[in-house]
Chain A
Amino acid sequence: MGPEAVLELFGGLLSLIGAVFLLLAAIGIIRMPDVYNRMQTGTKATTLGSILFLLGIGLAEPAWLGKILLLIVFIVFTNPISSHVLARAAHYRGIPLADGTVRDCLADDEAGQQGVCE
């Protein structure tokens, strides 16, 4: 096996690990109790899974590594922003939290209370 075959094998393994994270994110999206928990799994796990998956393809085809790194940087920058904006919109709209929620710091903040959150 030459170095290219080793890189391809390593990239395939990395892509497989990333795909498992993507699957876990999808399971979290369908299993979590409320919209905020779904948002958390659906953003963090897909970000990590996408990074691993794209890095695996970039290792298998090293000539494309620049563009793939650009794609990774784009995903890392935009994914938290979109989830943050969406969570803020959902909270502003008054979508209820799950039953097991202990504390809602944003609601406390909007009501002007100084609590544990500070």
Chain B
Amino acid sequence: MANILFYTAVSIALLAVVISFFRLLIGPSAADRTVALDGMTIISISVITAMAYFLGRVIYIDVALVYALISFLGVIAIARFIERGL
């Protein structure tokens, strides 16, 4: 019963990633694409944690943590690039 709920939740989250990907494709400016990418990575963190739960390995939560860190630094770098160039 609980597994069905988790599988449904992961399916909905993956659908959200796919929907955000369209904004990454069509977004008119670089800031739009970065917003879509930021949303996709934040959703992916939840999906990675759910994978850790399904596979029963706690080490994948560390993967999610490092992924969140890299995503944050990447967004900061892109925003700085949009603002005044590298």
The chain A residues found within 8 Å of chain B, CB to CB, are 5, 8-9, 11-13, 15-16, 18-20, 22-23, 25-27, 29-30, 35, 38-39, 42-43, 46-47, 49-50, 53-54, 56-57, 60-61, 63-64, 67-68, 70-71, 74-75, 78-79, 81-83, 85-86, 88-90, 92-93, 95
Q: How far is the CA of A19 from the CA of B58 in the complex (A)?
A: 21
B76 → A minimal CB distance (Å): 6
Choice from A15, A26, A85 contacting B19 with Cβ under 8 Å: A26
Interface string of B1-41 (1 = CB under 8 A from A): 11111101110110111011011000001011011101100
Interface residues on B, range: 35 or more
Task: Check if A89 sits within 8 Å of B42, measured CB to CB.
Answer: no
B31 touches A30 (CB 8 A): no
At the interface, is chain B mostly helix, strand, loop or mixed?
helix
**Is the CB–CB distance between B35 and A64 below 8 Å?**
no
New contact pairs (15) apart from A9-B2, A38-B35, A47-B42, CB-CB < 8 Å: A5-B2, A12-B4, A20-B12, A22-B13, A23-B16, A29-B19, A46-B43, A64-B58, A64-B61, A67-B58, A78-B72, A81-B72, A89-B31, A89-B80, A95-B29
B5 with A13: CB separation less than 8 A: yes
Contact A57–B31 (Cβ < 8 Å): no
Bound form: Cα–Cα A13–B45 in Å: 18
Tell me, rounded to whole Å, the shortest Cβ–Cβ distance linking B28 to chain A.
8
- With A79-B42, A95-B29: A86-B79 Cβ-Cβ less than 8 Å: yes
In the complex with contacts A13-B5, A50-B42, A60-B53, A93-B83 CB distance below 8 A:
yes
Interface centre among B34, B78, B84 (most CB of A within 10 A): B34
Quick check: B9 and A71 within 8 Å, CB to CB? no
Q: Are B9 and A15 in contact (CB under 8 A)?
A: yes
Q: Are A86 and B6 in contact (CB under 8 A)?
A: no
Closest chain A residue, CB of each to CB of B4: A12
| Closest Cβ neighbor of B10 among chain A residues | A19
